[in-house]
Amino acid sequence: MVVIVPLGVILSAWITPAWEVWHHLADTVLLELVMNTLILLFGVTAWVLLLGVGLAWLTAIYSFPGRRFFDWALLLPLAMPAYVLAFAMLGFLDYASPLQLWLTKRFGNNGYWFPDPRSPGMVVFLFSLSLYPYVYMLARTAFLGQGQRMLEASRMLGRSPWGAFFHAALPMARPAIAAGCALAAMEALADFGAVSVFGFNTFTTAIYKAWFGLFNLSAATQLASLLLLFVIVALSIERRMRGRAKYFSNDAHARMELIPLHGVHALLACGVSTLVLLLAFGLPMGQLLIWAWHQMATDLDGRFRDLVIHTVLLGGFAALLSTLLAFLLGLARKRHAGDRVTRLAAHLATLGYALPGSLLAVGVMLTLVWLSKWLDLVWPGGWGANGVNLFGGGILALLFAYLVRFLAVANGPVESGLETIRPSLMEAARSLGSSSMAAIWRIEFPILRPGLLTAILLVMVEVMKEMPATLLLRPFGWDTLAVRIHEMTSEGEWERAALPAVTLVLTGLLPLFWLVRRSGKH
């Protein structure tokens, strides 16, 4: 229900199309929006493929200096939201940046070639730097899961090492890789912060402008419905591929003998990994830290404290709510495993993650407007405007949107935790005299505790990073770190966006380390 209603509202926009809005859109921005979105989609997919698969293959198969470090360090960019990477790199490469000043001094004003940091190519490249870990992560798991035996068999049948890669390893990992690409593409579609930093118009920025610039909710809705189309395509690809990935993953205990690299090759492997890590994490982080250091004295004030408090409060509430809901959903699904309705509900409830925040904001807003109109009909008198304020302007709407979007995030760890609890455990508890409620409390809850904590942590960090929905739905005065970053970057004050950005990245590192450590233990 929680997910379907906002979605349904957006889809219903197609039933009553506002033709004049469409004409206006078609005349002005529609072509640019579609072109930009397509450039972004195809460019990002190509780049994340190259970066993600290449690096995954390197760290999974070969041993070279620093491999153990790169193994997990290459995941670090996950902690940096694309919009943070975008403004940090832009600040580093732009005309007034130290790098450009140095180059100008060295080579004269026009004495060197430098790529335009705001060109579509650059946008695509920066997106890829921030999104490649999705492909890297899934491809690496797939390569490791294949085990040595497959490669050896391929070599025995007469393939060169490269042949073995292209004819055995890559085709077998294809579903996982495709799923990773689809994830990256969905993230790129959903992004609002980074494209707005670059002034690169996509659906998300258009929705924002339609809402805040023109106060035209129906135009925003029409745009959202188009965006939804793209998302559905990407999502269906991801689902199909993920389903198939199961058939290809064999032995989890398959061991890999790493192939040692020597000399130039080792240097090259190490160099490429370092370069990617530097560009995607090191450089922007360094830039941010320098800026943050400069601004520390002025920005670290009561306002900043309020920002942090708001962010943590929202994140914490949303995390607790969605984890609780995920837990209840999981229990219900386990009790009624064969029930098709329960399965379908659980399936739909996890769709929210694929929905871009701006799209979701529009959906939630429309839902609440309708709800208050309906309330007005039932209990007439003063609901109309107040009702919208009561729901729409309130924290409630925001939490609702977070819940829809991040329920899937909480669902992952909770579900995999529940899967480890065999039904016989609950039966054993019952046969030893526990009622079914007591059994949930004494058995399922304690066993699930690590999974629940992971869920809370993950959702909290995701909520803290979330920008578009927060921007559109936040009640007046409830600025969060992400909102602050948007305000500052849209005015070009990059230094002043640095402190909140650093805070966000550091909190984003927390769950990453936690997860890496946990997976290291198993």
Partner 1 sequence: MSLNDSSHSTPLLELETITCGYDPNKPVVRALSFSVAKGEMISLLGSSGCGKTTVLRAIAGFNPVHSGQILLRGKTLSKAGFTLPPEKRQVGMVFQDYALFPHLTVEQNVAYGLKGHPRERIQSITHEMLQLVGLESMTRRHPHELSGGQQQRVALARALAPHPELILFDEPFSNLDVDLRERLGLEVRQILTSQGTTGILVTHDQHEAFAWGDRIGILHKGSLCQWGTPYELYHQPVDPFVAGFIGQGTFLYGTCDFPDTVQTAAGLLTGKPSGYRPKVGDAVRVLIRPDDVKKDDDSPILTRVVRRAFQGASTLYTLELTTGCQLQALFPSHMDYGIGTQLPIRVAPDHLVLFANPTPGMLYECRPSTLE
Residue with tokens 């505790």: 449
**Tokens in use for 363?**
């959906």
Q: Tell me the longest C-alpha to C-alpha distance in the chain.
A: 84
Taking CB under 8 A as the criterion, which residues in 186-225 touch partner 1?
Answer: none
Q: Are 407 and 455 in contact (CB under 8 A)?
A: no
Report in angstroms the alpha-carbon separations of 291 from 98, 278, 482, 506. 12, 18, 17, 15
H or E segment and range at residue 259: strand 259-260
Distance of CA 82 to the CA centre of its chain: 9
414 binds partner 1 (CB under 8 A): no
Report in angstroms the alpha-carbon separations of 329 from 148, 307, 334, 337, 448. 39, 32, 9, 11, 14
433 binds partner 1 (CB under 8 A): yes
| Contact pick of 424, 476, 520, 521 for partner 1 (by CB under 8 A) | 424
Q: Which CB sits closer to partner 1, 118 or 430?
A: 430
Q: Are 333 and 342 in contact (CB under 8 A)?
A: yes
Minimum CB–partner distance for residue 434 and partner 1 (Å): 6
The count of residues in the chain is: 522
Q: Which CB sits closer to partner 1, 176 or 452?
A: 452
Minimum CB–partner distance for residue 326 and partner 1 (Å): 20
Q: Which CB sits closer to partner 1, 14 or 445?
A: 445
Q: Which CB sits closer to partner 1, 341 or 437?
A: 437
| Contact pick of 69, 430, 509, 514 for partner 1 (by CB under 8 A) | 430
Minimum CB–partner distance for residue 455 and partner 1 (Å): 18
Q: Strand (E) positions, 217-274?
A: 259-260
Minimum CB–partner distance for residue 330 and partner 1 (Å): 17
**Candidates 252-260, 306-314, 432-440, 465-473 — which segment interacts with partner 1 by CB under 8 A?**
432-440
| Contact pick of 18, 256, 332, 425 for partner 1 (by CB under 8 A) | 425
Q: Which CB sits closer to partner 1, 155 or 430?
A: 430
187: left (phi over 0), alpha (psi -120 to 50) or beta: alpha
Q: Are 231 and 183 in contact (CB under 8 A)?
A: no
Among 53, 240, 193, which Cα is nearest to 133's?
Answer: 53
Cβ neighbors of 94 (< 8 A, separation 6 or more) are 100, 117
- Name the pairing type of β-strands 259-260 and 62-63: parallel
Taking CB under 8 A as the criterion, which residues in 320-349 touch partner 1?
Answer: none
| Contact pick of 427, 441, 518, 519 for partner 1 (by CB under 8 A) | 427
- What is the residue type of 251? D
Q: Which CB sits closer to partner 1, 159 or 334?
A: 334
Cβ neighbors of 307 (< 8 A, separation 6 or more) are 479, 480, 481, 484, 500
Among 365, 322, 349, which Cα is nearest to 471's?
Answer: 365
Q: Which CB sits closer to partner 1, 167 or 430?
A: 430
**Candidates 200-208, 312-320, 378-386, 436-444 — which segment interacts with partner 1 by CB under 8 A?**
436-444
Minimum CB–partner distance for residue 522 and partner 1 (Å): 12
| Contact pick of 429, 467, 471, 497 for partner 1 (by CB under 8 A) | 429
| Contact pick of 435, 475, 491, 519 for partner 1 (by CB under 8 A) | 435
Distance of CA 205 to the CA centre of its chain: 17
**Candidates 249-257, 325-333, 443-451, 470-478 — which segment interacts with partner 1 by CB under 8 A?**
443-451
440 binds partner 1 (CB under 8 A): no
Q: Which CB sits closer to partner 1, 81 or 417?
A: 417
434 binds partner 1 (CB under 8 A): yes
Q: Are 425 and 452 in contact (CB under 8 A)?
A: no
- What is the residue type of 105? K
Give the integer Cα–Cα distance in Å for 78 and 133.
6
522 binds partner 1 (CB under 8 A): no
Q: How many residues bind partner 1 (CB under 8 A)?
A: 17
**Candidates 93-101, 106-114, 421-429, 455-463 — which segment interacts with partner 1 by CB under 8 A?**
421-429
Q: Which CB sits closer to partner 1, 170 or 447?
A: 447
**Tokens in use for 5?**
């209603």
Report in angstroms the alpha-carbon separations of 405 from 37, 217, 370. 21, 21, 20
| Contact pick of 106, 422, 521, 522 for partner 1 (by CB under 8 A) | 422
Minimum CB–partner distance for residue 431 and partner 1 (Å): 4
What is the rounded radius of gyration, in angstroms, for the C-alpha atoms of the chain?
24
Minimum CB–partner distance for residue 146 and partner 1 (Å): 28
Residue with tokens 């529609």: 30
Minimum CB–partner distance for residue 438 and partner 1 (Å): 8
Among 73, 509, 99, which Cα is nearest to 275's?
Answer: 73
Minimum CB–partner distance for residue 421 and partner 1 (Å): 9
Three-state DSSP at 380 gives: coil
Q: Which CB sits closer to partner 1, 380 or 446?
A: 446
Among 79, 126, 205, 131, which Cα is nearest to 471's?
Answer: 205
Binding letters toward partner 1, positions 444-483, x by CB under 8 A: --xx------------------------------------
| Contact pick of 373, 442, 517, 518 for partner 1 (by CB under 8 A) | 442
Minimum CB–partner distance for residue 412 and partner 1 (Å): 21
Minimum CB–partner distance for residue 428 and partner 1 (Å): 4
Q: Are 67 and 149 in contact (CB under 8 A)?
A: no
Q: Which CB sits closer to partner 1, 435 or 519?
A: 435
Interface ranges with partner 1 (CB under 8 A): 422, 424-425, 427-436, 442-443, 446-447
